[in-house]
Structure 1
Amino acid sequence: MDRFDARDSGLIISPLTTGDCAAAAARAAAASLLFKFDYEYVTIQHEGNTRTISVYKDAEKCSRDEAHFYAVMEGGMAPDIRDKADIHVSVSRVTDFRKVDSRAYMDVRYGNLFLYAGEGIGIAAVDAPPTRKGQANIEKDARKLIFDAVAGVCEISDGAQPLLIKVSCPEGIMIAAKQSNALSAFMGGIGIMGNYGTISDVHQRDIAGSIENQIREQIELGVKSILVSPGDYCADKIYEGIHLSLKTAVNCFNFPGSAIDAACDAGVENLLLVGNVGKLVKMAAGIMNTNSYASDGRREIFAAHTAIVGGTSSQVRTVMGCITCDEILALLNNWGLRDRVMASIMGKINEAVARRCNGRLKFGVALFSEEFGLLGATVDTRNVLIKVSQEQYALSLKLK
């Protein structure tokens, strides 16, 4: 029995709410923005009832700093006039906090996320507790589900990066106009409502697939020497230090090991991995999942190598008491140990990457800090840099 036969028989099979649709589209948009892979559907669990929601990408509205998806509300029975309505969600990076709408909703659990309404979502015309005048008609449980959908992606991306979540319904004004008993407290569109539920975590295989796709795209353009980075952090220092732009870099997120594996499998000849010391220093201990929730060891790595190069027990204990890598580096600099410690660490990173690629490609790794710039590089980095620089420059011209 298919979905429509069941509805004709008077049954409801997994009816969706506007809140479900908004949360599903928000999860897809956040994953596309932060991890560059596109969901086709998102599953939401409601007290034993599983709802699988198809989501669709609006490519024309997507950019480097924004992703836009929508879901279609289905399963509503008459007189729910929102049935078949498109619920759109865009997730974008906050580049200027002054542009964040003062009426945006926030969640105390996630200080980096801001939720507000766009076209076709009802706005409170008067104070109607718990909603203030001017705020969107997005119910509490639906808000919580939407926030969770985006926060789940942020968590695995290892960052509390500020994001704007915008919910809209292009036909919302027309739908609201058909409502015979419209709520006088809200004007200009429909409400986003529904029960709270749970959304499955982002799977590592999806992220690995995104990395593989990025590498495959460059291979198809004739590139054999690739640049890899866990993100744009330290981009200016990287350009100053080795004159490479990260605009054509493959984003490995928190999984440099997956990028090395994918590069080897794709036939890449040269791989240059560059990035912030706070992430990539973990590779000295063989850690290839650098997400802070999964692994750390930064202080331990610096402390061990401080001891290896002749640091005192007091210096080692001081390093173990630090919070940030830049704090550690400042101490090492004052003690005259920084270059020796970094050389020791880069030696171990070289060994770890050599084990991972097992001779299948040539590689270089370079670590950077916003405060100190280039900190160290593995032994073959200079030779790999020449090849990568040439091919990535040619790639940037092709992509213009």
Structure 2
Amino acid sequence: MTALPRAGYTLPVFACAAAIAALQRLLGQSAATSVTLDLLEPPQPATIALEQVALLSADSALAIARSDPGDNLDLTRDTPVWAWVRWGASDQPEAIALAGGEGIGRQDQGQGPAAIYQYAQRLLRHNLAAYLPGDRKLQVTIILPEGQALATRTSNAAFGVVEGLSLLGTTGISQPLSAPGQLDAYRAELTQKAQGSDTLVFCVGENGLDLARQLGVPEARLVKTANWIGPLLVEAGLLGVTSLLLFGYHGKLIKLAGGIFHTHHHVADGRQEILTAIAGAQGLPTEVLATLLDSPTLESALQSLRQLDAQRQTAWTAQIYGAIAQQIDARAQRYIQHHSDRAVAVGSLLFDRQRQIIVTSDFGEKCLAKLC
């Protein structure tokens, strides 16, 4: 039996571990080689190794952990995570003030706060409060020395986060969704759910799952695929599934329109090229096609289309994305037929970064009505 891939931890966990170790040193304890913290989500402890802990002055200390996301294709693997802590002023509004230093991105295209999101804030404050004397205030600055360079290889800019990485996530566990061994676990879930229904919804990622639930799709019909869409499409055909709804972020699902059935960016990309080719087939002017092709992200290309519609009173966004959805359906159906010799009707629903639905294909509409 193939061993399941090893899970790791998300970046906020390493930031929190480093902050705890730095605070312990500031309180006069010896430099720790590891700390144990409460992950909150899930509610269980985790023991994290520390690389270095140093007292910088009587009022500040620094500790360094190193990211370990488990058996996952994650660009933050082995990146150092620093936490610099120092005593805060007595009039500091919060007992624990959090800040982003070098390598932590800033929201709203650099005009907003540091990209330290809700789970990371809760994790840090909850764990540090257990050590902080009641009469003291603390300032915590998280630093990712390699964050700015790594951010250029992510889609952070599509979220409006620039100059670094985000302390993002809703859990402390980094599930190895892109590791090959994880496919066996997804197949097992698909097999179980296919026994109870011939119509299923494939969700690419947590955003797709959350939105599908909000729309009322029953849990028994939902299957998370991560990036393994191709193998799971074929498996669904072999298991006798007759109808599928592909439910995901447009920056992932558009790859299927170009015949790319493993959607991890380490494997293949071509999103802007696919969008531009389909837009060209729909008759968009050459100068607009050039803008789409040169867009840094697919999200920015979508915004360009929407701005074009607003300026020229056109409906290019709906027309182009309608064509994309129909092509996704057709390519997916052909893919299943070719690799399993089974006919499966496929529909698709694509949403943007704000989880707003951009388009639902014709068969996708029928599927959604049936499921909800």
TM bin, normalised by shorter chain, reads 0.5 to 0.7
One-letter code aligned to 2:289: V
Alignment equivalent of 1:214, drawn from 189, 194, 208? 189
- Is 1:230 aligned to 2:204, yes or no? yes
1:117 aligns to what?
35
Contact 1:286–1:352 (8 Å) recurs in 2: yes
- Is 1:307 aligned to 2:224, yes or no? no
1:22 aligns to what?
none
Cα offset for 1:260? 0.6
Cα offset for 1:214? 1.0
SS at match of 1:233: helix
TM-score normalised by L of structure 1: 0.51
Structure-to-structure mapping, 1:142-181, within 5 angstroms: 147=67, 150=70, 152-154=72-74
1:262 aligns to what?
235
Contact 2:9–2:69 (8 Å) recurs in 1: no
What's the CA shift string for 1:103-154, capped at 9, x where partnerless? 369xxxxxxxxx9622897999xxxx94336xxxxxx9xx76xx45627443
Q: 1:374 to 1:238 in 2, by over 3 A?
A: farther
Alignment equivalent of 1:354, drawn from 333, 349, 365? 333
Contact 2:73–2:179 (8 Å) recurs in 1: no
- Segment of structure 1 superposing worse, 276-285 or 251-260: 251-260
1:317 aligns to what?
290
Structure-to-structure mapping, 1:1-400, within 5 angstroms: 39=3, 91=9, 94=12, 102-103=19-20, 117-118=35-36, 130-132=52-54, 147=67, 150=70, 152-154=72-74, 205-220=180-195, 222-234=196-208, 237-238=211-212, 242-244=215-217, 249-335=222-308, 336=314, 337-358=316-337, 359-371=342-354, 373-389=356-372
SS at match of 1:365: strand
Rounded Cα–Cα distance in structure 1 between residues aligned with 2:321 and 2:49 = 56
SS at match of 2:247: strand
SS at match of 1:380: helix
Rounded Cα–Cα distance in structure 1 between residues aligned with 2:344 and 2:12 = 38
SS at match of 2:244: strand
TM-score normalised by L of structure 2: 0.54
SS at match of 1:292: coil
Cα offset for 1:320? 1.3
Contact 1:237–1:369 (8 Å) recurs in 2: no
Cα offset for 1:311? 0.9
2:109 aligns to what?
none
Cα offset for 1:100? 6.3
Cα offset for 1:101? 5.7
Cα offset for 1:256? 1.1
Cα offset for 1:39? 3.3
One-letter code aligned to 2:330: E
Rounded Cα–Cα distance in structure 1 between residues aligned with 2:48 and 2:213 = 47
Q: 1:262 to 1:156 in 2, by over 3 A?
A: farther
Rounded Cα–Cα distance in structure 2 between residues aligned with 1:260 and 1:100 = 40
Rounded Cα–Cα distance in structure 2 between residues aligned with 1:148 and 1:266 = 36
| Ranges in structure 2 where 5+ consecutive residues have no aligned partner | 23-32, 38-45, 56-63, 78-115, 121-175, 309-313
One-letter code aligned to 2:322: A
Contact 1:229–1:251 (8 Å) recurs in 2: yes
One-letter code aligned to 2:198: K
SS at match of 2:304: helix
Q: What is the count of residue pairs matched by the alignment?
A: 246
One-letter code aligned to 2:246: L
What's the CA shift string for 1:353-376, capped at 9, x where partnerless? 110122532221111113472122
Cα offset for 1:238? 4.6
Rounded Cα–Cα distance in structure 1 between residues aligned with 2:355 and 2:281 = 22
Q: 1:218 to 1:93 in 2, by over 3 A?
A: farther
Contact 2:251–2:271 (8 Å) recurs in 1: yes
Answer with 1 or 2: which has the greater Rg: 1
Rounded Cα–Cα distance in structure 2 between residues aligned with 1:262 and 1:325 = 29
What's the CA shift string for 1:172-196, capped at 9, x where partnerless? xxxxxxxxxxxxxxxxxxxxxxxxx
| Ranges in structure 1 where 5+ consecutive residues have no aligned partner | 1-36, 43-66, 68-89, 106-114, 134-139, 165-200, 390-400
Cα offset for 1:386? 3.7
One-letter code aligned to 2:359: G
One-letter code aligned to 2:365: R
Rounded Cα–Cα distance in structure 2 between residues aligned with 1:347 and 1:365 = 8
Q: Give percent identity, aligned residues only.
A: 18
Contact 1:303–1:320 (8 Å) recurs in 2: yes
